[in-house]
């Protein structure tokens, strides 16, 4: 106890009283939570092909046990999509990481590449037939159910990818049978109490929706099906052309305006990263540098999307995507060019493009919504694991420790990016981590990746990569 005597100097009493009040006051305790971000599962039920023939007539609740009875439980290898053995170990690793997490984000591509082709080859259902499309739906529902089982009782916010369709790659049909058949499963994964009142309407219209953030009262998660904005999108199975794509953009803009007006924040979840594609820019050489630049999205959607992200930079505080299969990110800037958020690109579960399977675990502030840090978990022995039981999932790195910054705030992400641009040590770290523990990104193409991280708008990327 601090005692005060009659002769104690007034200044000493004041200082001592202030100290006593500080010591007596309750100390604020950080309320940090975590969530999982995974992407590009690309499950193939055609491994081995002969066993797949029984699946169309089998309830999805029996699929896992059916696959588990196969004597060969070898995991998919590099260059292959995710078979059931790899799916089982990946979901076990995600379940372990999510045990103490608040929720999960899954940013698209539940189905394997060339899914309609594989259905025809393995099952004999012709592409474009009802049976072919129905098997795509059934496989999607199987993966959704496995995600639910891996994270029971936790919200799983799911966006669709370019392979998630019964019509084909980049061929989602707005208002079509695939969206109608998967709508209830997606609603259930997110949680009926979290999805917006117009969920049924918007998901059927194009696979997009809004949901209340599971823990942040002032934040809405906007899920976009940006496949409809892709360079490769064709509404082949529908009759409405690009009208639904424009409608999603209008809906998105209204959501942003409403959030800003209400003082709310927005997190985005979508499949295709914003900005430019460094891989394709390097691969498809044209006579001039500017002619070689490849956007992730088609016009007018690419420019409009980038403009909205800048206009609402103070409202959109985080974004999560996949699609590229590698460990990457983008800086989100406001109209003044200030970095206000990040878009994190998760690595894939599927090892088809040569990287190791991996996913992210984020920590965040449940009070402010600020992202604090993230780690990447990856399958370290893909080539030698005999079965799911022998798979070794490890922590590859923690962002703050790997790059020597204090957190994964927008300021820290910008600091790391500036180190890339200056060709500092962060450049080597990025190249090493990009492939998820499987070799390095080639040094001679890093400039395209550096510019893609820092500039999602056409003018900024062009100036960065090609010079003014």
Instruction: Tell me the two tokens of residue 451.
Output: 């510019």
Average pLDDT over residues 72-83: 95
Average pLDDT over residues 278-282: 95
Quickly count: other Cβ atoms within 10 Å of residue 370's Cβ: 16
- In the sheet with 393-398, reading across from the earlier edge strand, the strands are 156-159, 103-107, 32-38, 358-365, 371-379, 393-398
pLDDT of residue 445: 87
pLDDT in tens, 285-331: 888 999 999 999 999 999 999 999 999 999 999 999 999 999 999 99
pLDDT in tens, 91-122: 999 999 999 999 999 999 999 999 999 999 99
This prediction has a pTM of: 0.92
- Contact (Cβ atoms closer than 8 angstroms) between residue 323 and residue 273: yes
The share of the chain scoring above pLDDT 90, in percent, equals: 86
- Contact (Cβ atoms closer than 8 angstroms) between residue 170 and residue 162: yes
Instruction: Tell me the two tokens of residue 181.
Output: 């058949």
Q: How far apart are the first and last CA of the chain?
A: 69
Instruction: Tell me the two tokens of residue 215.
Output: 């823990």
**Superfamily of chain region 33-466:** Metallo-dependent phosphatases (3.60.21.10)
Q: For the chain, which residues make up each domain, given as ranges? A: 33-466
pLDDT in tens, 27-74: 445 799 999 999 999 999 999 888 899 999 999 999 999 999 999 999
CA nearest neighbour of 365 among 102, 139, 184: 102
Please, what is the angle between helix 177-190 and helix 199-206, to 10°? 140
pLDDT of residue 11: 36
């Amino acid at each position: 106890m601090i005692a005060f005597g009659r002769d104690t100097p007034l200044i000493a009493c004041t200082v001592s009283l202030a100290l006593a009040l500080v010591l007596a006051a309750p100390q604020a305790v950080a309320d940090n939570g975590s969530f999982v971000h995974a992407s590009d599962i690309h499950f193939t039920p055609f491994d081995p092909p002969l066993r797949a023939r029984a699946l169309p007539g089998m309830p999805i609740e029996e699929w896992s046990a059916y696959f588990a009875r196969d004597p060969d439980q070898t995991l998919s290898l590099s260059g292959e999509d995710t078979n059931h053995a790899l799916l089982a170990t990946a979901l076990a690793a995600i379940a372990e990481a999510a045990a103490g997490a608040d929720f999960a984000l899954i940013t698209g591509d539940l189905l394997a590449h060339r899914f309609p082709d594989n259905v025809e080859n393995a099952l004999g259902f012709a592409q474009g037939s009802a049976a072919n499309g129905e098997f795509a739906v059934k496989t999607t529902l199987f993966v959704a159910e496995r995600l639910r089982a891996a994270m029971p009782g936790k919200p799983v916010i799911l966006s669709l990818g370019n392979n998630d369709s019964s019509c084909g790659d980049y061929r989602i049909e707005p208002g079509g049978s695939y969206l109608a058949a998967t709508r209830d499963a997606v609603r259930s994964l997110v949680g009926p109490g979290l999805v917006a009142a117009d969920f049924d309407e918007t998901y059927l219209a194009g696979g997009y929706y809004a949901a209340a953030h599971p823990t942040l009262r002032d934040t809405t998660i906007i899920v976009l099906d940006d496949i409809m904005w892709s360079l490769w999108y064709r509404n082949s199975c529908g009759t409405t052309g690009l009208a639904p794509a424009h409608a999603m953009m209008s809906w998105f803009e209204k959501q942003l305006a409403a959030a800003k007006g209400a003082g709310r924040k927005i997190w985005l979840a979508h499949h295709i990263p914003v900005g430019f594609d460094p891989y394709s820019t390097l691969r498809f050489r044209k006579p001039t540098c500017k002619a070689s630049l490849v956007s992730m999205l088609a016009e007018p959607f690419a420019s409009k999307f980038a403009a909205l992200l800048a206009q609402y930079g103070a409202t959109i505080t985080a974004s999560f995507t996949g699609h590229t299969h590698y460990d990457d990110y983008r800086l989100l800037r406001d109209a003044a060019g200030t970095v206000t958020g990040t878009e994190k690109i998760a690595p894939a579960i599927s090892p088809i493009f040569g990287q190791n399977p991996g996913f992210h675990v984020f920590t965040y502030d449940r009070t402010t919504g600020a992202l604090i840090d993230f780690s990447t978990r990856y399958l370290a022995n893909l080539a030698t694991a005999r079965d799911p039981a022998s798979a070794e999932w490890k922590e590859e790195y923690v962002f703050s420790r790997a790059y020597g910054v204090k957190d994964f705030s927008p300021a820290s992400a910008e600091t790391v990016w500036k180190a890339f641009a200056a060709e500092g040590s962060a450049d080597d770290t990025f190249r090493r981590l990009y492939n998820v523990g499987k070799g390095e990104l080639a040094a001679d193409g890093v400039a395209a990746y550096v510019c893609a991280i820092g500039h999602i708008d056409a003018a900024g990327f062009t100036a960065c990569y090609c010079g003014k």
